[in-house]
Amino acid sequence: MTENPSLGRPDRNIALELVRTTEAAALAAARLIGMGDKIAADQAAVDAMRIVLDTVAMDGVVVIGEGEKDEAPMLYNGEQIGDGTGLAVDIAVDPLEGTTLTAKGMPSALSVIALAPRGAMFDPGPCVYMTKLAGAGDIADLLDLDRPIGETLGLVADRRDVDIRDLTVVVLDRPRHDEGIAAIREAGARIRLIADGDVSAALLAASPRSPVDLLWGVGGTPEGVISAAALKSMGGAIVTRLYPRDEAERQAAVEYGRTHADYDLDRQMTQDDLVAGDDCFFSATGVTDGDVLQGVRYQGRRSATTESLVMRSRSGTTRRIVATHNREKLREYNGERYG
């Protein structure tokens, strides 16, 4: 058969390499599930992810690292990642999304990472929180932070031809959300409160046949950018707005905006503003069991299984990968990290 030269060949899908990094972080953090030490669990995930990331053929820079807002262990902003060859990329990373969930043995802790070509990821500057509203692609045009949430729920119910009482909104359980929670309930919709983990919640809100229709509320900017990469890949949508925690942070953001043209506290940003272009990558591996992914499972002393989601926006491909790991072989070059 003669090859048609007009047909493009599949190029490198680096997400299939990134999954090794989230698997490593999940396996390391899982040894500390329920042990009550969120800092140790986070550190284990960071150390394991960093070791594997440095073997990936890429010239990566951490644009958004987790940790600044609470002085936790982290892959820090500006850190060089990869072996220095190949693709020049931006990286947004949260080696352990749900440190408290892991420490308490609660559901939906993940290890997550997103990657895009250099310069594609939005830099949140001094703001470590943003307001978010996310859902599936069929309601993307209805997502608007300037509209009262109750009105948006009515529009979503009409679009999907359901009773508003059948809609469920996932919200982080925080005092700052009390007014919004009251408005959602007054509109007639149901609420699923979560302790942590709004990347997992964004995936749930955008997934078909999910029990959740929307994610709403204020959460971390790293999680917002990582969620944007995932939602671009799976056809979901998110709108966000930067959320300064206090007047000092607001003033710092205003100063930052003087030298960054796309930085505006009043601006609503979509997934395409947070991660520009059409070729981003996303990987998540479950640490504890949740609605989106199964957590790490141990089969005796010799093996463990992980479940991961791996996505690429350019192809629109989503892979669910269940892997079996030989713990003895992992210990040969990682010590007791995967013990």
Q: Which residue has the tokens 């600044």?
A: 68
Rounded to two decimals, what is the model's pTM? 0.90
Between CA 16 and CA 59 the distance in angstroms is 16
Residue 3 has pLDDT above 50, yes or no: no
Does the pLDDT value for residue 284 go beyond 90?
Answer: yes
Residue with tokens 């917002």: 224
Q: Is the pLDDT of residue 68 over 80?
A: no
Kindly tell me if the per-residue pLDDT of 56 is higher than 80: yes
Mean predicted confidence (pLDDT) in 284-308: 94
Give pLDDT, residue 42. 93
Q: Could you give the residue ranges of the DSSP H alpha helices within 161-246? A: 178-187, 198-206, 221-234
Strand order through the sheet with 190-194: 190-194, 168-172, 214-220, 129-135, 237-242, 269-270
HSE (side-chain half, CA atoms, 13 Å) at 295: 22
What is the dihedral angle through the alpha carbons of 310, 131, 198, 280, rounded to the nearest 10 degrees? Answer: 10
pLDDT given for residue 333 in this prediction: 56
Contact present, 29 and 111 (Cβ < 8 Å): yes
Q: Which residues pair with 320 in a beta bridge?
A: 309
pLDDT confidence of residue 13: 74
DSSP result, 287-307:
SS--SS----EEETTTEEEEE
